[in-house]
Amino acid sequence: MKSWLREHLLALLDSAGRMVRHSPATVLNVLVIGLALSLPAGLFVAIKSAALLAPERTPDAQLTVFMATSATRAELEAAATRLRAHPAVARTEIILKEKALDSLKDTAGMAGVIEELGRNPLPDAVVVSARPGALDQLEGLRDQARGWPAVEHVQLDSIWARQLEDAVRAGRRAVALVGMLLAVGLVAVSFNTIRLQVLARREEIEVSKLIGATNAFIRRPFLYFGTLQCLLGALLAWALVAAATRSLESHLGSLLDALGPDQRLPGLSAPEAGVLALLAAAIGWAGAWMSVSFFLHKLDP
């Protein structure tokens, strides 16, 4: 076990030393990888920020249950009680027809019209606000409420909510698509970088194979090289996204203040940054493994 750990440590140190000795090329490769990783990471943070700010910019999805004009107060209370018991409902508000009529009278030009009617034409109503993410359940509640006693009409204001959900869903798919495309590109970058390393050490590899070195032994330092390179790129991507997020905060000061004191835009959390680093390491490892495996059989002495 000690020998195995020693071999891996030596391979890691050898890779780090080569990165330092070839620092100009290393810096350029890390810069390319960091910029590529920062794009999907930045889009992910943008969607998180939009989800934070959206509730302050858009109203809650609402379901309005209009009772029949002949409905009694008991029937109105019964409908409100059934609505409150539904898991999709965050809060309810009963609007009596007398209150609705008074509000309508305050509208310019409507007082005279209402006086001529001689009666209150408005029904009692219950306004329901949905819980976050419960739009589908609220649509089911709308269909149920239409069959309740003394209910005349049910109206669901959900067009904007659907549009918001579709936009967020499309954004997440765009992040996934961009991430996959860039992952393929980064594998190609790692593949080409390791290929150059293999060609530069061709004679060394041939001698190693002649004295009995296994492919795993030869492949090990190249795997560490590709992994370390992409890990540095992930660190750079995290720094770029964090800097961009902090920069945007200065332009959204009033909006963030409305959300609460000391409110900040959400950046990459520690677990999310860890996932980014793991994905970058996996990409670097995969590109290096494919590159070395592809060229090793061509270098058989």
H helices present in 58-148, as ranges: 73-84, 97-105, 111-117, 135-145
Predicted pLDDT of residue 128: 85
Residue 250 has a pLDDT of 67
List of E strands, the chain: 62-67, 89-95, 125-130, 151-157
Question: Smallest Cα–Cα separation from 138: which of 87, 93, 91, 77?
Answer: 87
Architecture in CATH of 62-157 = 2-Layer Sandwich (3.30)
> What per-residue confidence (pLDDT) applies to 236?
93
Q: With CA atoms as reference, report the closest residue to 42 among 53, 52, 50.
A: 50
> What is residue 51's predicted lDDT score, i.e. its pLDDT?
63
Query: Residues 57-108: pLDDT tens digits?
Result: 445 567 888 888 888 888 888 888 888 888 888 888 888 877 877 776 666 4
Sheet holding 125-130, edge to edge: 89-95, 125-130, 62-67, 151-157
Helix spans in 250-269 (H): 253-259
H-run or E-run covering 295: helix 270-296
* Sequence ranges of the domains in the chain: 2-57+167-299, 62-157
Q: Residue 79 in contact with residue 67, Cβ under 8 Å?
A: yes
pLDDT at 260: 53
- Indicate left, alpha or beta for 150 from its phi (over 0: left) and psi (-120 to 50: alpha): left
Q: What are phi and psi of 149, to 5 degrees?
A: -65, 140
CA 293 to mean position of chain CA atoms: 35
Nearest in space to 226 (alpha carbons), one of 7, 34, 30, 22: 30
Query: Which pTM does this prediction carry?
Result: 0.61
Cα 82 from Cα 10, distance rounded (Å) = 70
Tokens of 141: 């509640």
The pLDDT of residue 58:
44
96 dihedral zone (left: phi>0; alpha: psi -120 to 50; beta)? beta
**Which residue stretches of the chain have pLDDT < 50?**
55-58, 108, 258, 301
Q: Write down the pLDDT at residue 235.
A: 93
